């Protein structure tokens, strides 16, 4: 079945295992625009499940290659690719405003939380999914229901998805998973990238240079004079580069003579190689390194991605997206969407859907009062902004940013140090600055999004919500006849369905004829109207 949505823009964040499955599903769809964004590049480890990529794509942008591949698979699908991080400069709230829904296909909680915060502020519908081995989950988030940040995530993670292998790691866990993959490539007997490129594994120097020396790394490592280290006492101090190289070359030489191996976290030689590889990778990308025991623990608890699990959770995401688009005006469908689906593949295959908990009233991500202002950071002072916020909220206030107190009405000493500073001394010009405003009694008053706009000296406030997003949706089944007769059962169900208020009811016209009803779709709007973006103006 082909679905045609000529008025809808979608953003998909992440083009990994789940992202590729989503693109496969929507290859029969038509949207006004379908944007995809990912900061990562293609690794050989991706190829077993991310089927849009081939070996010749190694090192290239996932989003750009996926868009190019989809042009051949689905020429009618207008894909716009972005090779960047979603929280990088240029991808602010103004970028998100153009979209009607956001699909999250991510592999980390930090980025999920960021996307959730922006979409909650704007009132944009979100579908999200994740997988770990044979288990997966799919959720939908929208105004008035539980959001991704409503309830804290357990901090003691004991299993780690292998899908977090990255060409640009951002933490030590990514480096451990990469080191485990390197171990498999070198010593498991599988045909890996070294065999494909004709590398001689008996030359450890060339292998070292391939993986730890390169222009793409912020801190390339040259081989230095070192002694092979068979045993090392892992003290509190940080190892020198010579010591790490001594560990790596010793472990590599020993393992390379043992034949085909399966990683064993209880084998000291195996762990020594993982530890040294992780530490060197952290040096490459200037990342804080974990200690020996942490790296050993993570390396033994990596869960490999399963393509079938990714496929199922991706289908659940699209099912929720379609349900939202087709039934956006009916309250009962909102209730059905407010559920989490848990997937178990393998021998005990099942899909369990449970009603989600209610929203957390203490969650500032989905707090109802979200406002924004665009001002010139190089002109406006902190004290001027604070005074305007006090007048607007009619309260004494405390301002918090990323758990850092910016302003405390009861602390005159700290306030005096920043009151006459310009905003550009505290906030970034090219990013959204998200502030939480509380009363002196610690009661939530507002979530405040502050943006730089050159030449705007006057401070004004407006709601972040995009109130008319839902009104752009039309009947997607345009491949059917323009007139369709409802059955008596459909009429009965429709009358029993609570209908949510619509500002423009003429978009969905209904005509009655005897005991039946005929649906008449509104004719497609002009192209100029289709391309019109929703812009918020500060009153």
The pLDDT score that the predictor gives to residue 538 is 35
Cβ count within 10 A of residue 1: 8
d(CA 436, CA 457): 22
The annotated binding site for ATP is made up of 14-19, 38, 46-49, 62, 107-112
Q: Which of 163, 172, 175, 282 is catalytic?
A: 163
The pLDDT score that the predictor gives to residue 385 is 94
Residues in the chain: 539
* CATH architecture group of domain 160-300: Orthogonal Bundle (1.10)
The annotated binding site is made up of 14-19, 38, 46-49, 62, 107-112, 147, 150, 363, 366
Whether residue 166 contacts residue 172, with contact meaning beta carbons closer than 8 Å, is answered with no
d(CA 249, CA 247): 6
**Annotated catalytic, 163?**
yes
Give the CATH number of domain 370-460: 3.10.290.20
Count of alpha carbons within 13 Å of 250, Cβ hemisphere only? 19
d(CA 508, CA 521): 7
Give mean pLDDT in consecutive 10-residue pieces for the chain, a chain of 539 residues.
84 96 94 95 85 91 96 93 93 93 92 94 93 88 87 62 68 90 80 55 80 73 66 65 90 86 85 93 92 87 83 93 78 60 73 80 90 94 93 91 83 87 90 90 91 92 72 38 51 51 39 32 37 35
- Determine if residue 241 is left, alpha or beta; phi over 0 gives left, psi from -120 to 50 gives alpha, anything else beta: alpha
d(CA 461, CA 374): 8
The pLDDT score that the predictor gives to residue 222 is 75
The pLDDT score that the predictor gives to residue 535 is 35
Cβ count within 10 A of residue 83: 18
The pLDDT score that the predictor gives to residue 388 is 94
Q: For residue 112, count CB atoms less than 10 angstroms from its CB and return exposed for 0-12, middle for 13-18, buried for 19 or more.
A: buried
Whether residue 105 contacts residue 19, with contact meaning beta carbons closer than 8 Å, is answered with yes
The pLDDT score that the predictor gives to residue 493 is 56
Domain boundaries, the chain: 3-157+305-355, 160-300, 370-460, 481-530
The annotated binding site for Zn(2+) is made up of 147, 150, 363, 366
The pLDDT score that the predictor gives to residue 515 is 32
**From the candidate CATH numbers 3.40.50.1000, 2.60.120.10, 3.40.50.2300, 3.40.50.720, the one assigned to the domain spanning 3-157+305-355:** 3.40.50.720
Count of alpha carbons within 13 Å of 152, Cβ hemisphere only? 5
The pLDDT score that the predictor gives to residue 193 is 55
Radius of gyration of the chain (CA): 27
Residues in contact with 536: Cβ distance below 8 Å, sequence separation at least 6, in sequence order = 97, 372, 462, 464, 466
């Amino acid at each position: 079945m082909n679905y045609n949505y000529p008025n809808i823009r979608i953003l998909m964040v992440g083009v990994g295992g789940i992202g590729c499955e989503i693109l496969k599903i929507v290859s029969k769809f038509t949207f006004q625009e379908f944007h995809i964004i990912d900061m990562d590049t293609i690794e050989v480890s991706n190829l077993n499940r991310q089927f849009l990529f081939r070996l010749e794509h190694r090192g290239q942008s996932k989003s750009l290659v996926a868009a190019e591949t989809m042009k051949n698979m689905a020429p009618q699908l207008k894909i716009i690719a972005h090779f960047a991080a979603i929280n990088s400069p240029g991808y602010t709230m103004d970028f998100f405003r153009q979209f009607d829904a956001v699909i999250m296909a991510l592999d980390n909680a930090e980025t999920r939380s960021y996307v959730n915060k922006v979409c909650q502020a704007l009132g944009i519908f979100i579908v999200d999914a994740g997988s770990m081995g044979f288990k997966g989950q799919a959720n939908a988030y929208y105004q008035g229901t539980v959001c991704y940040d409503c309830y804290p995530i357990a901090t003691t993670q004991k299993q780690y998805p292998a899908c977090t292998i990255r060409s640009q790691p951002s933490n030590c866990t990514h480096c451990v998973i990469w080191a485990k993959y390197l171990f498999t490539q070198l010593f498991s007997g599988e045909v890996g990238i070294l065999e494909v490129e004709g590398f001689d594994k008996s030359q450890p120097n060339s292998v070292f240079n391939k993986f730890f020396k390169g222009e793409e790394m912020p801190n390339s490592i040259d081989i230095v004079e070192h002694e092979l280290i068979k045993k090392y006492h892992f003290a509190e101090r940080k190892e020198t580069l010579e010591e790490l190289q001594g560990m790596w070359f010793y472990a590599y030489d020993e393992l390379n003579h043992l034949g085909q191996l399966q990683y064993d976290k209880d084998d000291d030689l195996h762990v020594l190689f993982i530890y040294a590889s992780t530490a060197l990778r952290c040096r490459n990308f200037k990342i804080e390194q974990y200690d020996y025991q942490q790296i050993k623990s993570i390396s033994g608890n990596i869960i490999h991605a399963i393509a079938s699990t990714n496929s199922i959770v991706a289908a659940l995401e699209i099912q929720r997206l379609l349900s939202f688009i087709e039934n956006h005006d009916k309250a009962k469908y909102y209730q059905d969407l407010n559920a989490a689906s848990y997937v178990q593949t393998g021998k005990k295959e099942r899909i369990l859907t449970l009603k989600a908990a209610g929203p957390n009233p203490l969650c500032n991500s989905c707090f109802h009062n979200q406002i924004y202002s665009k001002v010139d950071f190089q002109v406006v002072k902190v004290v001027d902004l604070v005074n305007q916020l006090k007048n607007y909220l009619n309260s004494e206030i405390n301002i918090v940013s990323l758990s850092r107190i910016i302003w405390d009405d009861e602390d005159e000493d700290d306030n005096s140090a920043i009151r006459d500073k310009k905003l550009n001394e505290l906030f970034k010009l090219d990013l959204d600055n998200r502030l939480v405003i509380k009363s002196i009694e610690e009661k939530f008053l507002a979530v405040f999004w502050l943006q730089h706009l050159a030449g705007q000296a006057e401070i004004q406030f407006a709601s972040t919500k995009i109130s008319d997003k839902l009104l752009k949706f039309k009947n997607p089944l345009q491949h059917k006849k323009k007139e369709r007769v409802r059955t008596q059962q459909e009429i009965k169900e429709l009358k029993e369905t609570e209908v949510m208020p619509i500002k423009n009811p003429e978009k969905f016209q209904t005509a009655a004829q005897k005991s039946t009803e005929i649906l008449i779709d509104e004719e497609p709007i002009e192209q100029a109207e289709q391309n019109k973006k929703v812009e918020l103006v500060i009153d």
